[in-house]
Structure 1
Amino acid sequence: MKICFHGTADEISLVAGRPLLVLLTAHDLPHMRVFELYHPRIQAHPHREHYRLCARLAETTDEGRTA
């Protein structure tokens, strides 16, 4: 799955610095899904201090890893 995050440099660095992301599902809370981040690309907006991080996510069940 491909996903993009938009934000400031500080916000993007928080996401890009994590090898695993935990996302909550809307319909069956408190169920969580864990994804690994692959091939991240960061693009800067030419006129503002906004950035876009695009990456591929793959769901993982590796419970032994820590983020």
Structure 2
Amino acid sequence: MRICFHGTADEISLVAGRPLLVLLTARDLPRMRVFELYHSRIDAYPRLEHYRLCAAMTETTNEGRTA
């Protein structure tokens, strides 16, 4: 699955600096789901000071990793 984030340089750097992304879900689903981001690309729009990070993501259980 592909996902894109739009924001300022500071906002995009927060997302780009993390290999894992935790998303909260709706009530009927498990409370949190963990996704791994890969093949990321950042597009810049300097005039607007706006950036877009696009990446592929896959759900992971994150088993065996330590924080």
Q: Classify the TM-score, shorter chain.
A: 0.7 to 0.9
What does 1:1-67 align with in structure 2 at a 5 Å threshold? 1-28=1-28, 31-66=31-66
* Counterparts of 2:37 and 2:16, CA distance in 1: 8
* Counterparts of 1:51 and 1:58, CA distance in 2: 22
Matched positions, count: 67
RMSD of aligned Cα (Å): 1.7
Segments of structure 1 that go 5 or more residues without pairing to the other structure are none
What percentage of aligned pairs have identical amino acids?
82
Segments of structure 2 that go 5 or more residues without pairing to the other structure are none
Q: CA deviation at 1:66?
A: 4.5
Q: Structure 2 vs 1, CA of residues 13 and 21 (structure 1 numbering), >3 Å: closer, same or farther?
A: same
Structure with greater helix share of residues? 2
Q: What TM-score do the two structures reach when normalised by structure 1?
A: 0.87
SS in 1 for 2:13: helix
